[in-house]
């Protein structure tokens, strides 16, 4: 008998996890070895269980799926992450790819074929939902994705902190923070702080209390 593909499910909704587990129980070559409801737990469980594939929800409370993916890939480079998201915009896909995800599929797709997608990423292939704007990602064009540090700065901008306050928290100079702020705006093509805050919240790039 062939060895089963081990899978860790990460989603903050237990009903969603249960649904995915049922889908995968029908796949004879797969075994769900664990479930996590947030980013921190997903990293902990991944280290303990060494799953071949992590099915990662993009929008998680606290540490989001992109941040958790980055950490898991750093700790376990042989583990494949399949990102599930509600967002089809290319910015999100790029960020998932840069975080190390091997696949990106839309959660709300009517014909979500989780089993085949897991098989592909486990075999080292990449999987993209046909409806996501992946052309620019695959061509490797200039990425609008933000670095981990820029995401931290963006979160604090949305929280209403000034450059000086952000500098204190991150132990950087105010000038460095100003450069990060300018880079974020350039990357996203936004020129006003108010627009940046609205875009960041709508796109789910930051956590809103």
Q: Domain 148-202 classified CATH 3.30.70.890?
A: no
Fold of the 5-139 domain: Rossmann fold (3.40.50)
pTM over 0.95: no
Domain positions in the chain: 5-139, 148-202
**Distance of CA 159 to CAs 43, 146, 163, 194, 197, Å?**
26, 18, 12, 12, 9
85, β-bridge pairs: 106
- Structural tokens at position 124: 């080292």
For residues 178 and 163, the answer to whether their CB atoms sit within 8 Å is yes
Domain 5-139 and domain 148-202, same fold? Reply is: no
pLDDT in tens, 102-160: 999 888 765 678 999 999 999 988 888 777 644 444 433 333 467 788 888 999 999 99
Q: What is the mean pLDDT of residues 74-91?
A: 88
């Amino acid at each position: 008998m062939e060895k089963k593909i081990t899978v860790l499910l990460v989603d903050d909704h237990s009903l969603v996890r249960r649904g995915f587990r049922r889908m995968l129980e029908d796949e004879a070559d797969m075994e769900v070895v664990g479930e996590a409801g947030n980013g921190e737990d997903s990293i902990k469980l991944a280290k303990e269980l060494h799953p071949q594939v992590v099915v990662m929800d993009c929008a998680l409370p606290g540490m989001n799926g992109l941040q958790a993916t980055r950490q898991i890939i750093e700790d376990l480079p042989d583990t494949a992450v399949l990102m599930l998201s509600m967002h089809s915009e290319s910015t999100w896909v790029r960020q998932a790819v840069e975080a190390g995800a091997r696949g990106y599929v839309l959660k709300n797709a009517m014909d979500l074929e989780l089993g085949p997608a897991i098989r592909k990423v486990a075999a080292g292939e990449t999987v993209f939902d046909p409806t996501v704007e992946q052309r620019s990602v695959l061509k490797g064009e200039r990425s609008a994705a933000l670095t981990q540090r820029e995401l931290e700065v963006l979160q604090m901008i949305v929280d209403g902190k000034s450059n000086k306050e952000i500098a204190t928290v991150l132990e950087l100079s105010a000038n460095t923070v100003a450069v990060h702020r300018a880079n974020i705006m350039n990357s996203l093509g936004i020129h006003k702080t108010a627009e940046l805050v609205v875009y960041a919240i709508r796109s789910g790039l930051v956590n809103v209390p």
